[in-house]
A and B are shown apart, each in its own frame.
Chain A
Amino acid sequence: MTAAPTYAGGVDTSESHEVEGSVATRTDDPWVTIVWNDPVNLMSYVTRVFQEYFVMPRQEAESRMREVHERGRSVLSTGSREQMEVDVQAMHGYGLWATLQRSGE
């Protein structure tokens, strides 16, 4: 799979997420947020979630949704562990199945 673009610059952080001071040891390894396919979520809904949360144009959101649907998963964002925790929490808020991990794992 090719490297995924980062959308952190466009992420809406207006909702407060308590991630500060969460852990003592952190590395600088970039982390990734992965959204996984599931048989429940609607294509139209997933597209709108990507548009709304990652501030993507509709076409881009649709192509990421198709990647999730057809390949089973897609990397939606890349960054620090704290940022990925915010993104994964947001995806869980929307009912999408998302995980975080170190990139390259």
Chain B
Amino acid sequence: MRGFRDVGGLAVASLDEEERLVIARIVADVGAMLGGDGFGDEHPGARPEREELADALAFLERADESPREPDDPALLRLLPTAAPTDADVSEEFRRLTEGDLRDLKIARLRRMWAQLSTGEGRWEVGPAEVMPTAAALTDVRLVVASRLGLDSEEDAQALHNDLAAAAAAIQSGEAADGALAGTSEADAERLWLGMLYDALTWLQESLVSLNLGGLDD
């Protein structure tokens, strides 16, 4: 993996096939979580007509549905409560904005998914797409962080330490057959998700720090 560089005014990162698939998969998962139908379809243009009709009629369902606070903490982090001390303000805010917020986030994730699905491992982001892509990466990182239970800076530091220890163990040859000795399945899952989180963080940092998109000073 190579982070974003400025290549003639385009932000360009390089991913190998496995990295590309893993990231595209989590992007699709977050899109689906937000209610994006048909997400992750390898051929986004070839969706069945029936689904398009359902999409077109989705507003009917939305019209008399008052969205409630999501139970899933990861989804709640994407669609937060606007006024935690005022249930009426929060409820009204959710009713007025949640549909638009979901649509915005799904549309951005779809564009990022499309970027990842073309270019043979060359991930190209034009200047106008830098911030939408960074925002989509944020949404994906928020979901992964929620799954990892990263609620504080201390949690993030603890994960960082665990990843460093695992990397050191792998380097010193303690890990045989790709598994760390004495590592439970839950720990292995945490390390895997943690590595994904780190990679996404690193990619986002490299993208944002390019300062493409004309926002300097």
Contact = CB atoms under 8 A, between A and B. Distances in A.
Contacts of B145: 39-40
B97 A85 contact: yes
A40 B83 contact: no
A40 B150 contact: yes
Contact of A92 (B97, B141, B152, B205): B97
A71 interface: no
B16 to A, nearest CB: 24
Interface string B117-154: 00000000000000100110011011001000011110
A2 interface: no
A92 B80 contact: yes
Nearest to B157: A39
Given A52-B131, A100-B82, A42 B101 contact: no
A19 B97 CA distance: 9
A93 B135 contact: yes
B61 interface: no
Contacts of A45: 134, 138, 204, 208
Q: Which of A17, A48, A81 has the most CB of B within 10 A?
A: A48
B135 A51 contact: no
A105 B155 CA distance: 30
B114 interface: no
Interface in B63-100: 77-86, 89, 92-93, 96-97, 100
Q: Which of B134, B151, B201, B209 has the most CB of A within 10 A?
A: B134
Contacts of B151: 39
Nearest to A69: B153
A94 B135 contact: yes
B54 interface: no
Nearest to B84: A99
Contact of A85 (B79, B96, B104, B153): B96
Contact of B205 (A22, A42, A58, A98): A42
A95 B139 contact: yes
Given A45-B134, A48-B131, 16 more contacts: A18-B97, A40-B156, A45-B138, A52-B215, A85-B82, A89-B100, A92-B97, A94-B138, A95-B78, A95-B135, A95-B138, A98-B80, A99-B81, A99-B84, A100-B89, A100-B93
Closest CB pairs A-B (n = 3): A95-B138, A39-B156, A89-B97
